[in-house]
Amino acid sequence: MVKGRLNVGTVIDGFRIDELRHTGGMAHLWGVTREEDGATFLMKTPVVYEGEDPAAIVSFEMEQMIMPRLKGPHVPRHIANGDFSKQPFIVMERLEGETLLPALKQLPLPPEKVADLGARIADALQSLHEQGVIHLDIKPSNIMFRPGGEAVLIDYGLAHHRALPDLMQEEFRLPYGTAPYMAPEQVMGIRSDPRSDLFALGALMYFFATGTRPFGDPQKLRGLKQRLWKDPAPPRKLNPAIPPLLQEIVLRCLEVKAGRRHPSAAQLAHDLRHPQQVPLTARAEKMERDGFFAALRRKGESPMSLIDLPPPREAEASDAPIVAVALNLDDMAPDLADKLRRTALRILERSPEARLAVLNVLKLNRIALDQTLDEEGNNKHVQRLVGLKDWARPLNLEQGRITFHVLEAIDPAETILDYARVNNVDHILMGARANSTMRKILGSVSAKVAAEAPCTVTVVRNRSVAG
């Protein structure tokens, strides 16, 4: 291993160190240039000096194993690793801009800004969880954004990968994480539940909406464990500008039992983007902490009894899919509508945690002005919403498991595709239209969706519908 401290000008495996960009508790970040082509990157090296925490090395090993396996816009692109026998390093994409850390000077943020940030971070978590990784250190300094707005999660030193040995779990007994954001099960040493990241995101949204950390910043295990039995002050008590809908979502993220949180990051993102369809519970109207005796009763219980243990097979994002049913209310035959219902029900029966999003596209004119009322003076948007609910009523789904969306757009197929991409839809269900001259000339909506969707598409047909 290279001894001593690295310096500007040092060349390691073809990468020249240009500057020290950041020094953290476990690693240094360097700006580097690849000599062969002049491309610039970021190099991360572990803190390996005498007297430093050995967890810095173990976490760096984990990050070296995990980062090459990650793909997509929500993670930094991995370039190269350096061997511990010489000089350990990770070279990755150099992201421009800042983390969310400077935003702390502007707190509290407007509720709509908090919801937007939360939804974009939840998108990134969904992508990560689908790749089998739990971040376990979601905090402002580990979140950046691309120019297009996508959240990027950085620093995987504390992460858990379901297909890799968990070195942090095997070698250390103390919980590792960032105190204000650690989930109760993480405090108790459980690192295999993706819903821990949802708790951390809830703590971050609480902080950004109120300017106050929900559990303070305890530095000892005793203080960390208080979140198992002592609930935070309701956000609306600290900031009356916070709407009940946002408090409902944030406090659901902060539930001690993971099973009471959202089943997946995708469903959390969906709620944040469509809060008007979130069913309100007592969480939304809560204005005071739980009483002294309720907290005392919980404190007297075994800590492990207060949390949920993850299932034997680690929870995956696919266990809680979002299924979108795209309905054409203009000319759908009753038998096709019924067949769509039966197909949707079969899908939901296989996935008890699934959510159904029922869609209709209210097609707009390309040139002529659109009228919001029909010939009888009824609001078209409202009428479509009623039609969607009428279609879904025989399914008898409980509130909160189904949402309804009337999307106004010129291109129905592209609108359905865009909804699927933005909301991390796992399965699109739609009916095939009957044959017509225009359909043959222009092509069908279902054909385009099936060809371009980022997920599974099922096109339901009547026997009389050919091709």
Q: The domain spanning residue 366 has which CATH number? A: 3.40.50.620
Assign 16 to helix, strand or coil: strand
Look-up: residue for tokens 């949390």? 307
Q: Among 314, 343, 368, which residue terminates a domain?
A: 314
Residue 34 belongs to some domain of the structure: yes
What pLDDT sits at residue 438? 42
Q: So what's the pLDDT on residue 3?
A: 47
Q: In the prediction, which pLDDT does 39 show?
A: 96
DSSP string for 242-308: S-HHHHHHHHHHT-SSGGGS-SSHHHHHHHHH-GGGSPP-HHHH--SPPPHHHHHHHHTS-HHHHSP
Verify that 131 and 154 share a domain, yes or no: yes
Q: Is residue 2 part of a domain?
A: no
In a domain, 6, yes or no: no
Residue ranges of the chain with per-residue pLDDT less than 50: 1-3, 50, 314-316, 368, 437-442, 465-467
pLDDT tens-digit map of 396-435 = 988 778 888 888 888 889 999 988 988 889 999 998 866 6
Task: Give dist(CA 249, CA 63) in Å, integer.
Answer: 31
For residue 197, which of 151, 236, 163, 237 has the smallest C-alpha distance?
Answer: 151
CATH code assigned at 86: 3.30.200.20
d(CA 32, CA 8) in angstroms, rounded, equals 9
Q: Which domain holds residue 30?
A: 11-92
333 shares its domain with 220: no
If asked whether residues 125 and 73 sit together in one domain, one would say: no
pLDDT digits (tens, 9 = 90+) for 265-282: 999 999 999 998 899 999
DSSP 460: E
Given 314, 346, 365, the domain boundary residue is 314
Do both 306 and 341 map to the same domain?
no
Claim to verify: residue 35 and residue 137 sit in the same structural domain:
no
Same-domain status, 176 and 256 = yes
Asked if residue 337 and residue 285 are part of one domain, the reply reads no
11-12 and 15-23 strand pairing: antiparallel
Is 231 found in the same domain as 106?
A: yes
| Residue 201, domain member (yes or no) | yes
pLDDT at 437: 46
Q: Are residues 65 and 113 in the same domain?
A: no
Question: Quick one: which H or E segment has residue 169?
Answer: helix 167-171
**Residue-level pLDDT at 174:** 73
Verify that 128 and 66 share a domain, yes or no.
no
Give the pLDDT confidence score for residue 125 in this predicted structure.
98
In a domain, 145, yes or no: yes
Whether residues 292 and 360 fall in one domain? no
Q: What per-residue confidence (pLDDT) applies to 52?
A: 56
Q: Structural domain tally of the chain?
A: 3
Q: What is the pLDDT, as a whole number, of residue 374?
A: 56
Residues 296 and 359 in one domain: no
- The one-character DSSP state at 373 is B
- Domain boundary (42, 64, 92) is at 92
